[in-house]
Amino acid sequence: MIYKHPSLLRAEAIINMVMADQHLVESKDYIIIEAYQNGREQGYKICPPNQNGTIYVAQERRSDDIVVYVGKYSMQGISEDAYMHSRTFGDEFRAVEYIRAMLRGRI
């Protein structure tokens, strides 16, 4: 049996909802999506053009909340800067709107 970690599945669902934003779809800029792992957190990082404020998204390791970190790009894990700038959301839709708003301001 192939099994994908539930926190990664939730992060993937959020990424898919974020990327369905028509403004982002029509943009000429490249947004790069990469996976990351930080201990028990498994998620994705969204790298806007010129990597100005990488956005990390995952299920928070101690709860069912979604956590969004924003900060400098890190090749592995989460940068210290991003770790210090986190926000948690009780539902996926609020997290999606927050991420979309940040991306719209960067591209």
pLDDT of residue 51: 59
CB burial of residue 50 (10 Å; 0-12, 13-18, 19+): exposed
Residue 53: left (phi > 0), alpha (psi -120 to 50), or beta?
left
Q: Which amino acid is at 1?
A: M
Question: CB of 36 within 8 A of CB of 68?
Answer: no
At residue 107, the pLDDT reads 58
Per residue in 45-60, pLDDT (tens digit) is 998 876 568 999 999 8
Q: pTM, whole model, 2 decimals?
A: 0.88
The per-residue pLDDT for 52 is: 67
Q: How far out from the chain centre does Cα 19 lie? A: 11
Q: With a cut of 50, which residues of the chain have pLDDT below it? A: none
pLDDT score for 5: 78
Radius of gyration of the chain measured on its C-alpha atoms = 13
Q: Is 98 helix (H, G, I), strand (E, B) or coil?
A: helix
Domain boundaries, the chain: 6-104
* C-alpha–C-alpha distance, residues 33 and 24, integer Å: 13
% pLDDT > 70, the chain: 95
Which tokens hold the place of 43?
């998620």
